Amino acid sequence: MNELPPDLPRLKAIETYLQLQLRRVQQKVAEAEQWEASRRAAAQPRTPPEWTLQMDIGADPRPVAVHHGECTTGGKRLQRVTRRDAIEALSVGILPCALCRPDRELQVD
């Protein structure tokens, strides 16, 4: 059962119409995939930082302790730092957290 017209001009018109429709569908698919990706990214839990510095209260906050990123004893005044920064902080005398003991994992005495 062939419902297509036999002449070339009408076949070309149908082809153009279908190409335009296909582009619209592809655009909608791309939008749906982007929405799904952003939804999945928002649903994933944020990975905690590897290391944090607990900052002192005051106008000029200074670091008072080094914590492992998953340690919850530092409160809200935490600043994310790199491994190297955590090692440097411990080596200049900033105290390691007594609970998470970052000095053991960082091998700083």
Answer yes or no: is 5 within a domain.
Answer: no
pLDDT at residue 47, rounded to an integer:
74
Answer yes or no: is 4 within a domain.
Answer: no
Domain housing 82: 51-106
Q: How far is CA 89 from CA 15, 74, 80, 104, 106, in A?
A: 68, 15, 13, 14, 11
Answer yes or no: is 65 within a domain.
Answer: yes
- Residues 63, 29 share a domain: no
**What φ, ψ does residue 104 adopt, rounded to 5°?**
-70, -50
pLDDT at residue 49, rounded to an integer:
76
In whole angstroms, what is the distance from residue 1 CA to residue 72 CA? 71
* Three-class secondary structure of residue 53 per DSSP: strand
Q: The whole model's pTM is what? A: 0.56
Number of folded domains in the chain?
A: 2
At 41, the pLDDT band (50, 70, 90 cuts) reads confident
pLDDT digits (tens, 9 = 90+) for 47-72: 777 899 999 887 778 899 999 988 88
Answer yes or no: is 73 within a domain.
Answer: yes
Answer yes or no: is 3 within a domain.
Answer: no
- Residues 95, 58 share a domain: yes
- Residues 102, 55 share a domain: yes
